[in-house]
Amino acid sequence: MDTKKIEELLKVDIIKELGLEGLDTESKQSIIDDAGYVMIRGAWIRLFEALSDAKQKELSDLLEEDPENIEAIIGFLKKEVPHYEDLIKEEVASYKSILLAQ
């Protein structure tokens, strides 16, 4: 997927595009939570796949030792997967593309 398409998809309001504005707040939040979970899960899979086995183990250890240490986790990702932000954007855009195609 090209950069322009990714940027367009990142701006899409899925609730609006799927015609779900009329849902109650709780239902909308549930949809957003579920979509967020799928996107985050997909991004983590892609991040792990971008790492060597040794680096996967290192990240796993970091996450187990101190999962709240966001600075250390982001620092690790910046060092080991320099394009990690682009990878995450691609995953979000890909998921939105799938939702919009249905």
- pLDDT per residue rounded down to tens, the chain (102 residues): 889 999 999 999 989 998 999 999 999 999 999 999 999 999 999 999 999 999 999 999 999 999 999 999 999 999 999 999 999 999 999 999 998 887
What are the sequence ranges of the domains in the chain? 3-101
CA angle 11, 68, 89 (to 5 degrees): 20
